[in-house]
Structure 1
Amino acid sequence: MIVIGGPDTDGDVWASMLTGPSGFADSIDDRTIVFNASLAVGDPLHGAYALNQPVGTLALDTSQVRRIRVNGVMHRSGQSLVLRTEQVLRNCPKYIQTREIVDEQPCEPSVEVGTSLSAAQQRWIEAADTFFVATHSPRHGADVSHRGGAPGFVTADVDRLSWPDYVGNSFYMTFGNLELNDRSGVCFLDWESGHMLQISGTAEVDWKDREAPGAQRKVLFQVERVVYTRDAIPLRWRLVSYSKFNPDSVQKEFDQ
């Protein structure tokens, strides 16, 4: 699984996902990665890479609890996507929940679009322990990052999300981009079903709000566009354990 993020053809920022068998992401030299996969029709980033466009990518291995971010520019070549690297960052394992792949199902994605969150989508978000956030600065390129915590760490209503930001790698790439461009996108995956919820809007950082346990600051996200895709990806995961770094860890309850 590769998470990708960046602007669409209208300048709205989205996060999305590419999946494939082991080896579908192939580093053909020290600056070039080819993803032998494509985004489904209906994905908001489907048409974004006809020519070189800024992109952030995140390779996430939930079974080994490891991740690496690779940012640069990407273009479509036939049925593949080609990334020319500009930044390569190894990240720590904080807040990654351990999951293992248990199945793969054929999928025929179906897409619903809107401008606000339904009650069911709000419940989904508030039960999530993981999501991904994409940002873009015209001066510095695109980035996509992992966010994790105990279920309930994200709050949602019909047109607004918020979440605490915990101690991380201190690169501040998400926040640096937001200082220059508040357009951003978030993506939630239903790990058991393969459904995906993508939301684009604007984000602001409240640097003084440390009310939530472990929070260094709080992010407020205004919902503008919503894309819900049933059967977005074929992989199915099983939760093995929550991250030991999660504030208010629910691992004890999970074990019981």
Structure 2
Amino acid sequence: MAYHWGSLAVQDRLGVRELADHVGRSIGPDIPLAAAAFLARQPHLVVGAADGAGRLWASLLTAAPGFVRATAPDRIAVAGGLPDGDPLAGALATAGTWVGTISLDPRTRRRLRLNGTLDEAAPGGFAVAAGRVFGNCPKYLQKRQPLALAAQGAGVVRRGDALVPDQERAVRAADTFFVATAAEDGVEASHRGGLPGFVEVHAPGELSWPDYAGNAMFLTLGNLTADPRAGLLFPDWESGAVLQLSGRARPEFGAGGERRVRFFVDAVVEGLHPGRLLWSAPEYSPANPPVVPSSPPHLGSTTR
């Protein structure tokens, strides 16, 4: 089945089960040739997984194009690993770990998602046995062009259990982030985008964002219905900095079908990525809705 009970519950609530069934036919276990070529051209890969304590994180790998390649119809190999101090460095050394990946090309607004299990771990990299492979539409992706590589000054800058003021400012200024979620059938890594300000910071340990109309599959909201754990990754495209948050999230539903996700922070890691690629200022997606401040959450508004 393309969907577990959490996604089905959200689809039924919003009346999109028939559309979701149609879109779900695009999900398969194999990597099409066009998808394999796309992966080989990309300089980054976002990976979502749980650490040894069960916390979910989303992490960024960056290297010269070709570091991710399809080695079989249902397998990818990734050369290199995560930087020292990354919260998932240990998880990607354990075979059998559920992982979700997303490869995004800011130049073309294309993205590809591949979920599966860690097939092989080694000092020089790792491999993933694919279980679900599918593309997504270009909605809410900002277009950017690569400028330069910056290898110096990499490493973890700060750790904590809540956002500090400059991290709050970075979240409010973000037009893109990635979210890792999980359920009984594995881990997903997905993209969220919008105009700066679409992610609201309500307190050092609480933030939220609107769930914009997408492909009707509701994989992320479905996972959060089944399992509240989540990991967020905020990249600073122009400096190469990364902000990683791990915590718990819940979907909220309002009148008229409006949806929002509320996230509660448990842990924060801020760092500079080694060999990071610096990108231009964005050309915002024409699909981005205007930023509308949220109203307070309503009791009983979640699916749980």
Shift of residue 126 of structure 1? 0.3
Q: Does 1:217 align with 2:259?
A: yes
Deviates more, 1:181-190 or 1:74-83: 74-83
Asked if 2 retains the 8 angstrom alpha-carbon contact of 1:195 and 1:232, the reply is no
The alignment partner of 2:239 has SS state of coil
1:97 and 2:142 matched: yes
Once residues 218 and 226 of structure 1 are traced to their aligned partners in structure 2, the CA distance between those partners, rounded to angstroms, is 22
Structure 1 residue 179 displacement after superposition: 1.4
Match of 2:45 in 1: 2
Alignment of 1:74-223 (within 5 A): 74=118, 75-111=120-156, 112-137=158-183, 139-156=184-201, 157-208=203-254, 216-223=258-265
Counterpart of 1:243 (choices 254, 269, 285) is 285
- The match for 1:73 is 117
The alpha-carbon distance between structure 1 residues 114 and 19, as it changes in their structure 2 partners (threshold 3 A), is same
Label 1:231 to 1:35 Cα distance change in 2 as closer, same or farther (>3 A).
Answer: closer
| Aligned mate of 2:70, from 24, 27, 33 | 27
Higher strand share: 1
Identify the structure with the greater helix proportion. Answer: 2
Letter in 1 for 2:46: V
Taking the aligned partners of 2:243 and 2:283, their CA distance within structure 1 comes to 23
Structure 2: runs of 5 or more not aligned: 1-43, 292-304
**Identity within the alignment, %:** 40
C-alpha distance in structure 1 between counterparts of 2:170 and 2:242, whole Å: 10
Partner of 1:254: none
Structure 1 segments of 4 or more deviating over 3 A? none
Q: Deviations over 1:164-183 (max 9, x none)?
A: 01001112111121111101
Residue type at the aligned position of 1:76: A
What number of residue pairs does the alignment pair up?
244
SS in 2 for 1:99: coil
Shift of 1:51: 2.0
Distance 2:176 2:275 in 1: 16
Structure 1: state its 5+ residue gaps. Answer: 250-256
Asked if structure 1 preserves the Cα contact closer than 8 Å seen for 2:83 and 2:155, the reply is: no
Cα distance in 2 for residues equivalent to 1:248 and 1:234 = 31
Instruction: State how far apart, in whole Å, the 1-side matches of 2:167 and 2:266 are.
Output: 14
Cα deviation, 1:63-112, whole Å, max 9, x if unaligned, reads 01100100001142231110100000110000000011100011342312
Question: Contact 1:207 / 1:216 at 8 angstroms: preserved in 2?
Answer: yes
Q: Deviations over 1:104-162 (max 9, x none)?
A: 0113423121001001000110011000110011x110001000001100011311010
Q: TM-score, normalised by structure 2?
A: 0.77
Select the structure of larger CA radius of gyration.
2
